[in-house]
Amino acid sequence: MKNIAGNDVSIFLFRFELRGYGIDFVLNEAIAADMYQDIDEKMKPLVHACCEKLLRYRYISVSNIIMDGNILTTGEFEVMLSKGLGRHFAHDEKERLFQDAKIISDLLAVVMDRRTQELEKGKQWNLPPIEHTQNPRKKKGLEKLGKTKHR
């Protein structure tokens, strides 16, 4: 797997994708599945700050992925902007953007490390049931039909 710059990636962490008039934050699915509430709360303002900065430059981006963050095969973290986008940022603003991205990657590393330690200690997590219904006997006709079609 390669990042925006074409460098070999060991672990995809996150990316910011242009969607319509906004930006989506896309997180590695495995990390998202292991996310902790405290880490999630710390990440939200950082992701929001990154989105606000990137939105101002979205019209200049040459690709839908405006910024990505990955662990390279060398073990280093790398954050990349869409080709040529970095030259349009003010130096201080780009530094803050990259600092926020680095903090996000550090928080994601905490998630991975914490989950690994739990697995090594043999801790099992209780996964939530797939279907959350308040009273399974009170299903309405449309809800039953929707679930049948979904299967």
Reduced to 3 states (helix: H, G, I; strand: E, B; else coil), residue 55 is helix
39 vs 107: CA distance, rounded Å: 6
Average pLDDT, the chain: 84
Domain boundaries of the chain, sorted by first residue: 9-150
Q: What is the pLDDT of residues 66-115, one digit of tens each?
A: 999 999 999 899 999 999 999 999 999 999 999 999 999 999 999 999 88
> How many whole angstroms from its chain centre is CA 118?
22
